[in-house]
Amino acid sequence: MIRRLSLLTGLILALGFGWWAWQNYGPRPEAPPLADTVQHVDLILIEKSAKRLTASRDGIAVLQMQVSLGFAPLGDKQHEGDGKTPEGLFSINRRNPRSSFHLSLGLDYPRPEDITRAKTEGVDPGGDIFIHGQPNSLGDMVTLPGDWTDGCIAVSNEQMERLWALVPIGTTVEIRP
């Protein structure tokens, strides 16, 4: 009986010491996400196949989020109303704090080559491509599932607020298939 009591006491002391050591010398909490320490990003990469947006600064990813695309996401945008999200290199050329979709960052689409191609084909290239939040009519609590835009890139309102704070006019946007 005394032996069992001694073993139990030793076990309790060892566990207590282990807990104390873990609390004082164990792993430290992770550093805050880089997005909390970076003032702005210089590149937004949108990978349509992965439905992923990655914002980076000097080649280091600071923010990553899932996106919704145009309702017909496969392929490059060809004309107004095709439901495709354009592919290629763009830049942010405007910011709209009064957007119908929470906040929005405008891309410089159509580019001159898009206009020339569309003119050759006798179609309207479309325009007003944005990275934006959810429709204001739904309120802040709803994030629409699936690909539902007319060709824009949509994220949740909370994600859009984080992105809005990091993206100045002139930021490069690369949209890959």
DSSP letters of 41-98?
A: -SEEEEETTTTEEEEEETTEEEEEEE-B-BSS-SS---STTS-PPP-EEEEEEEEETT
36/143 Cα distance (integer angstroms)? 23
123/118 Cα distance (integer angstroms)? 5
Tokens of 64: 């990553």
55/177 Cα distance (integer angstroms)? 17
Q: State the catalytic residues.
A: 132, 152
Distance, CA of 1 to chain centre: 63
What is the DSSP code (8-state) at residue 105?
A: E
Tokens of 169: 């006019």
